[in-house]
């Protein structure tokens, strides 16, 4: 789909329709999420394939590196406490 020119019109609400050729090329369906990125003098449209992908890199560890063993032990202790409360 190299060098395919398509156009759209911006509405009064600053919305536009992604042309059919572009939607088909990106395999976009109603309800899909997209990301807009500015690179040099262009805007790039990138389909977001999952919420995981959409949020990748947004959560930063409190400590670097995280101590996974410590976190697991903490979680297991909390679960054990909840189970003990439920059994009484």
Distance CA 18, CA 12 (A): 16
Whole-model pTM: value is: 0.50
| Bridge partner list, 47 | 34
Is residue 1 scored above 60 in pLDDT? Answer: no
Host H or E run for residue 13? none
Beta strands in 1-88 (DSSP E): 33-39, 42-48
Residue 54 confidence (pLDDT): 61
Is residue 2 scored above 90 in pLDDT? Answer: no
34-68 pLDDT, tens per residue? 999 999 999 999 998 776 666 667 777 676 777 88
Query: Is 20 in contact with 7 (CB distance < 8 Å)?
Result: no
Overall average pLDDT of the 66-78 stretch:
87
Helices (H) and strands (E) in the chain, counts: 3, 2
Please give the DSSP secondary-structure letter assigned to residue 80: H
């Amino acid at each position: 789909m190299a060098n395919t020119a398509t156009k759209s019109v911006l509405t009064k609400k600053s919305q536009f329709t992604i042309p059919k050729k572009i939607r088909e090329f990106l395999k976009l369906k109603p309800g899909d999420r997209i990301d807009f990125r500015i690179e040099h003098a262009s805007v790039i449209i990138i389909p977001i394939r999952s919420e995981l992908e959409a949020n990748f890199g947004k959560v930063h560890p409190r400590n670097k590196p995280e101590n996974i063993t410590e976190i697991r032990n903490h979680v297991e202790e909390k679960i054990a406490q909840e189970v003990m409360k439920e059994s009484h």
